[in-house]
Amino acid sequence: MAAARINSSIQNTISLLVSSPLASITTKTRRSRLKNHQNLFFSPKSKRPMMFCTCTNTLPSNPQTDDDTFVLTTPLYYVNAPPHMGSAYTTIAADAIARFQRLLGKKVIFVTGTDEHGEKIATAASSCGSSPSEHCDLISQDYKNLWQDLEISYDRFIRTTDVKHEAIVKEFYSRVLANGDIYRADYEGLYCVNCEEYKDEKELLDGNCCPMHLKPCIQRKEDNYFFALSKYQKLLEETLTLNPKFVQPSYRLNEVQSWIRSGLKDFSISRASVDWGIPVPNDNKQTIYVWFDALLGYISALTEKGEEPNLQRAVSSGWPASLHLIGKDILRFHAVYWPAMLMSAGLGLPKMVFGHGFLTKDGMKMGKSLGNTLEPKELVHKFGSDAVRYFFLREVEFGNDGDYSEDRFINIVNAHLANTIGNLLNRTLGLLNKNCQSTLSVDSAVAAEGKALKQTVEKLVEKARTHYENLSLSLACEAVIEIGNAGNLHMDEQAPWSLFKQGGAASEAAAKDLVIILETVRIIAVALSPVSPSLCRRIYAQLGYSDDHFNAVTWSETKWGGLKGGQVMAQPKPVFARIELGTEADGGDAKAVKKAAKGKGKKAQAQIIAEA
Ligand SMILES: Nc1ncnc2c1ncn2[C@@H]1O[C@H](COP(=O)(O)OP(=O)(O)OP(=O)(O)O)[C@@H](O)[C@H]1O
C-alpha cells in the first residue's frame, strides 16, 4: 500500500527547489498538499495542551506517565567504537536522576542502549575484519560491561538491531507515510559520515570540514525518501512557545528556536548506498536513515519482554518519555526532527529534552571519531565508581562544558568523600566504640532537641532535593557536602572527646553529640545515594543497617529522626579510602617519579618531573 502511494505520486512529476546553496532537492514527486488538522493532545492530569499533531490517527499515551512513572533515556550510543568518558558522563547523570526519582517513589523506566546501523558502523566493522553484526555484538557488550562497572541501574537496554525495534520502526514509518509526510526526491549535498548527516556549507570549516569531527564532508547525490519537516515549522514554533521547558537548559532553547526560525528543510530518511540498516517498507533497495531509526529506540525499548512488538503497545507502556538526556551535539535531532516525526505519527512529545555540555580535552569535545577520549574503565579501575561518578557530577556544572584533570579529581574526591564524609563517620564511630560500646544512647530526635544542627541539615536537604529536581546535579552534590561540613563543625565545636573525659553530664552530652552527628551522616547517605550509591550503602552498613534496609530507602528518610536509641553500630571501618599519589591508585607513577628526583638538584628534579 505504501509503495502504491509513492508510485502514484511519482507520476505527478514536478521540480521543487529547496533553498540551500549546496543541497538541492529535485522532487520527482509532488506531495499531495497536506491537510493541516491540528489536534491538541492534553495532559491527562493538568488538562493543558501537551502537543500538536497533524495526524488524524493518534495513539493514546500511557495515562499514568504524568504522576507515577518517570521514563528517562540516554542517547543510544553509536557502536562505531567502544564507550569513552563522554558516553559514560551522560549515563552516570541519567543514573543519578533515575535513582533520585526512585527515591521519590516513582516507577522509573530508565532506557539506554546502542545505535547499531549505518555506514559508519559498516566501515568500522570491515576495518576490523568482522561482519557488522559481530562488530555490534562486541561493542554493545562493551557498553553493558562499562555500565556494570559504573553501577548504572538501567531498566531497558535497547539495541537498534533487535527484531522488536525493526518492527516498531517499520510501523512508525508506515504511519508517517500514511500521513502524507514522506516523498521521494533526488538529493545532492555535502555529507559528514561521522555525523551521518548532510550539512549546510555555511556550517562547515575550510575545506568543507565538519566542525565537530574535523574531517572533510563528501559531495553526495542520491535518490532518497524525504520527511516533510518543513511542514512542521509552525507547529514546532508554537509548541516551544507554549512549553518553553521542553528544551533545557533554557539557553539551549534559544538555539533551537533560532534553528527553527531560520527555516526547516525536509530531510532525507533513507539511504540507497547503505546496506546495513532497516529496509524501507516496500522498497528494499533503500535502508532507513540511521537517525530516523535510532530515535525510535526510545519507544521500542518500552515493549515488554515476550510481547508482540507493536507501536500501540509500546506507547501505552510509558510513552511519552519524561526526559531525554543528551549531549548538545545531538540537540537538533531531539528537539527538532524527533518532535516533528512524533507529531506526524500522532504520538505525544517527550516532556523535556536536556542537552548537557561536553567533557573536553584541550578545548575540543572528547569523542570517538576524534579519538581524544578518556578511558572510563581505567578511571573506575584506579579510583572506583563512587569517585568517578561523584567527580564528574560535582565538578561539571550540568549543562556546561568541563575539562578533566587528574589533580583536580584527586583533590575533590579526597576532600569531599574521604575527609568531609568518610572521616566524619569514622571519627564518630571510633568515639562511640571507645566510649559507648558502639551503641546509641538515645533517639536522634531526642538528641537533637535544642540543637541548631538539625535545622541546618533540614534546610540543606530541601536544597539538595530542589537541585536534583531541577537537574542541577552539581549543586545537589554541593548541598550534601554542606551537610557534611555542618556535621564536622558540630564535632569540632562540641569536642565530644574532651567531654567524655569529664564524665557525668558532660559525657551524656557527648554521647548525644555522637548520635546527632551519626544522624547527619545517615541523612547524607540517603541524599548522596543517587550519585555514589556504593559509598552510601557502606555508610548504612556502618550505621548497623542491613543491605535490604538500604535497598528499601526512600527520600522520606532524609527526615531527621531515623536513628534510634539502643541501635548498635558496626566496628568502625573507613568507607572511602583516600587516594594517595604514588599508591596503587595512581599506578605508582608519582611515587616512582619522586624517588627518581630524590637527592637531585632543584633543576634536575624539575626536569625529571616535567619529563614524567
Ligand atoms: N565529550 C563528551 N562530553 C559529554 N558527552 C558526550 C561526549 N561525547 C559523547 N557524549 C555523549 O554521547 C552522545 C553521542 O554519542 P555517540 O555515540 O555519537 O558518541 P561520540 O563519541 O560523540 O561519537 P563521535 O565522536 O563519533 O561523534 C552525546 O550526545 C553525549 O550524550
CA dihedral 549→552→555→556, nearest 10 degrees, is -70
The confidence band for 16, taking pLDDT boundaries of 50, 70 and 90, is very low
Query: What average pLDDT score do residues 295-302 get?
Result: 98
> Is 89 near ligand 1, meaning CB less than 6 Å away?
yes
Is the pLDDT reported for residue 35 higher than 50?
Answer: no
Is the pLDDT reported for residue 65 higher than 90?
Answer: no
Query: What average pLDDT score do residues 240-252 get?
Result: 96
The confidence band for 607, taking pLDDT boundaries of 50, 70 and 90, is very low
Q: Which of 156, 116, 94 is nearest to 300 (CA)?
A: 156
Q: Which of 13, 401, 92, 50 is nearest to 245 (CA)?
A: 50
- The predicted pLDDT at position 371 comes to 81
> Is 102 near ligand 1, meaning CB less than 6 Å away?
no
- The predicted pLDDT at position 597 comes to 47
By CB atoms closer than 10 A (0-12, 13-18, 19+), residue 226 is: buried
Domain 404-576 matching CATH 1.10.730.10: the answer reads yes
- In the chain, what are the domain boundaries? 27-44+68-376, 404-576
Q: What are the pLDDT digits (tens) for 472-507?
A: 999 999 999 999 999 999 999 999 999 999 999 999
How many angstroms separate the alpha carbon of residue 610 from the centre of ligand 1? 32
> Is 572 near ligand 1, meaning CB less than 6 Å away?
no
- The predicted pLDDT at position 58 comes to 63
Is the pLDDT reported for residue 113 higher than 50?
Answer: yes
The confidence band for 342, taking pLDDT boundaries of 50, 70 and 90, is very high
C-alpha cell at 544: 548497623
- The predicted pLDDT at position 25 comes to 37
Separation between Cα atoms, residue 124 and residue 139, nearest integer Å: 11
Q: Say if 27-44+68-376 and 404-576 have the same CATH topology.
A: no
Classify residue 206 by its DSSP letter: G
Q: Determine phi and psi for 38, rounding to 5 degrees.
A: -105, 105
Q: What are the pLDDT digits (tens) for 513-566?
A: 999 999 999 999 999 999 999 999 999 999 999 999 999 999 999 999 999 999
Average pLDDT, the chain: 86
Q: List alpha helices for 208-262, DSSP H.
A: 233-242, 250-261
Q: Which of 415, 411, 420, 410 is nearest to 382 (CA)?
A: 410
For 43-166, strand residue ranges (E) read: 49-53, 69-78, 107-115, 156-159
Is the pLDDT reported for residue 202 higher than 90?
Answer: no
How many angstroms separate the alpha carbon of residue 134 from the centre of ligand 1? 22
CA dihedral 565→568→572→578, nearest 10 degrees, is -60
Atom of ligand 1 at shortest range from CA of 359? 3
Atom of ligand 1 at shortest range from CA of 325? 31
Atom of ligand 1 at shortest range from CA of 78? 17
CATH code, residues 27-44+68-376: 3.40.50.620
Query: What average pLDDT score do residues 56-64 get?
Result: 55
Amino acid identity for residue 365 in this structure: K
Separation between Cα atoms, residue 595 and residue 242, nearest integer Å: 64
> Is 86 near ligand 1, meaning CB less than 6 Å away?
yes
Q: What are the pLDDT digits (tens) for 143-171?
A: 999 999 999 999 999 999 999 999 999 99
Query: What average pLDDT score do residues 71-80 get?
Result: 97
Is the pLDDT reported for residue 216 higher than 60?
Answer: yes
| Percent of the chain topping pLDDT 90 | 74
Q: Determine phi and psi for 440, rounding to 5 degrees.
A: -75, 135
Separation between Cα atoms, residue 216 and residue 206, nearest integer Å: 9
How many angstroms separate the alpha carbon of residue 86 from the centre of ligand 1? 6
Is the pLDDT reported for residue 47 higher than 50?
Answer: no
First-to-last CA distance in the chain? Answer: 68
Q: What are the pLDDT digits (tens) for 393-405?
A: 999 999 999 999 8
> Is 90 near ligand 1, meaning CB less than 6 Å away?
yes
> Is 330 near ligand 1, meaning CB less than 6 Å away?
yes
- The predicted pLDDT at position 585 comes to 45
Q: What are the pLDDT digits (tens) for 118-140?
A: 988 999 999 999 999 999 999 99
With both helix axes pointing from N to C terminus, report the angle between 85-103 and 473-494 in degrees, rounded to the nearest 10: 70
- The predicted pLDDT at position 603 comes to 44
How many angstroms separate the alpha carbon of residue 607 from the centre of ligand 1? 37
How many angstroms separate the alpha carbon of residue 366 from the centre of ligand 1? 7
More confident residue, 562 or 41: 562
More confident residue, 612 or 257: 257
Q: What are the pLDDT digits (tens) for 419-465?
A: 999 999 999 999 999 999 999 999 999 999 999 999 999 999 999 99
ipTM for the complex?
Answer: 0.97
Separation between Cα atoms, residue 366 and residue 606, nearest integer Å: 30
More confident residue, 428 or 57: 428
